[in-house]
């Protein structure tokens, strides 16, 4: 009896269909990715922003309705172009063309155009940073010109004081010196440099703007519907990302804004040692 049961189990295992990935790992039929190395088991799959796999002939995800292909008549600037969660929170998805957020949006399988184009983006942040640096340079130049004028006025006062000492008594000279001496103002403190921060790490409400490692301006923004504040690449409330039970919203925000993988964001958000 035991031998018959053993033969039935062995036969059942031999008839089970398996799929082998490019790295030689066997996986049960029906999986889209290898359980050992993560390699794709079916070529040409399209993955939506929620991680659902779809055939390459689909325009929208069959599970959540998220768009899978670029909007009509849109040329992607580089390989990072993709549909992502709308950073403004007004729509389900918004298209990133590789340089900036576009007006193309999608909600529940329907494409549309948002009249109010979101501000921010790396290019706009660079423009704001350059404008700020130019302003600081102009202020520094104006401060230097004032300092030169005050120095000249001080030298002129000293020359007048020396001439007065030759024709008046020591008491009169002291009075003239006291009335003509111009106090040199203390040098202006240099403007504070932007604080280097990491996107999706905690911050204090009301903090000044920071700057990410790649030069992008960052803002201390509130995570929507919470009392949590995180550094963000866009101003205004951060839309609450779709995370699983027990998931960390900061990791999801990091993935959406920095294009890192989940593992990359976990390492990126580790406290500095």
Query: pLDDT at position 269, please?
Result: 85
Asked if residue 146 belongs to a domain, the reply is yes
| Same domain? 201 vs 262 | yes
| Same domain? 217 vs 159 | no
| Same domain? 125 vs 155 | yes
Pick from 251, 221, 208: which is nearest to 87 by CA?
221
Query: pLDDT at position 140, please?
Result: 87
Query: pLDDT at position 86, please?
Result: 92
Asked if residue 49 belongs to a domain, the reply is no
Query: pLDDT at position 136, please?
Result: 85
Query: pLDDT at position 175, please?
Result: 56
- Per-residue pLDDT of the chain (273 residues), as tens digits, is 445 544 543 454 445 588 888 899 988 887 888 889 988 777 777 888 787 888 878 888 888 888 988 888 888 878 888 889 999 999 989 999 999 999 999 998 888 888 875 655 454 556 557 777 888 888 888 888 888 888 888 888 888 887 777 766 655 655 545 555 555 666 767 666 778 888 889 999 988 888 988 888 999 999 888 889 999 999 989 998 877 656 788 888 999 888 899 888 988 888 765
Please state, in angstroms and rounded to a whole number, the distance separating the CA atoms of residues 25 and 39: 10
- Bridge partners of 18, per DSSP, are 28
166 exposure class (CB count in 10 Å sphere: 0-12, 13-18, 19+)? exposed
Asked if residue 126 belongs to a domain, the reply is yes
| Same domain? 200 vs 264 | yes
Asked if residue 149 belongs to a domain, the reply is yes
Asked if residue 219 belongs to a domain, the reply is yes
Asked if residue 113 belongs to a domain, the reply is no
Could you list the residue range(s) of the whole structural domain that residue 170 is in?
A: 121-180
- At residue 47, the 3 state secondary structure works out as strand
Q: Is pTM, for the whole model, over 0.75? A: no
Asked if residue 82 belongs to a domain, the reply is no
| Same domain? 211 vs 239 | yes
Could you give the number of structural domains in the chain? Answer: 2
How does strand 210-211 pair with strand 195-196?
parallel
* Neighbour tally for 212: CB within 10 Å: 19
Please state, in angstroms and rounded to a whole number, the distance separating the CA atoms of residues 133 and 145: 19
Query: pLDDT at position 170, please?
Result: 59
């Amino acid at each position: 009896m035991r031998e018959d049961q053993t033969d039935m189990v062995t036969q059942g295992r031999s008839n089970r269909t398996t799929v082998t990935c490019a790295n030689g790992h066997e996986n049960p039929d029906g999986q889209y990715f290898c359980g050992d190395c993560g390699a794709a088991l079916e070529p040409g799959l399209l993955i939506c922003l929620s991680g659902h796999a779809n055939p390459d002939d689909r325009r929208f995800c069959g599970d959540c309705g998220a768009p899978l292909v670029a909007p009509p008549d849109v040329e992607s600037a580089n390989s990072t172009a993709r549909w992502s969660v709308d950073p403004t929170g007004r729509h389900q998805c918004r298209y990133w063309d590789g340089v900036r957020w576009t007006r193309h949006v999608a909600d529940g399988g329907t494409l549309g155009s948002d009249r109010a184009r979101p501000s921010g983006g790396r290019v706009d942040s660079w423009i704001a940073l350059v404008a700020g640096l130019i302003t600081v340079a102009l202020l520094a130049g104006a401060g230097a010109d004032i300092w030169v004028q005050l120095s000249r006025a001080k030298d002129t006062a000293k020359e007048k004081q020396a001439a007065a000492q030759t024709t008046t008594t020591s008491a009169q000279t002291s009075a003239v010196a006291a009335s003509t001496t111009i106090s040199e103002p203390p040098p202006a403190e240099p403007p504070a440099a932007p604080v280097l921060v990491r996107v999706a790490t905690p911050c204090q409400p009301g903090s000044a703007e920071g700057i990410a490692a790649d030069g992008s301006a960052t803002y201390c923004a509130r995570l929507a519907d919470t009392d949590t504040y995180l550094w963000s690449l866009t101003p205004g409330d951060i839309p609450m990302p779709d995370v699983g039970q027990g998931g960390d919203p900061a990791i999801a925000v990091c993935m959406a804004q920095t294009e890192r993988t989940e593992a990359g964001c976990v390492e990126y958000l580790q406290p500095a040692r």
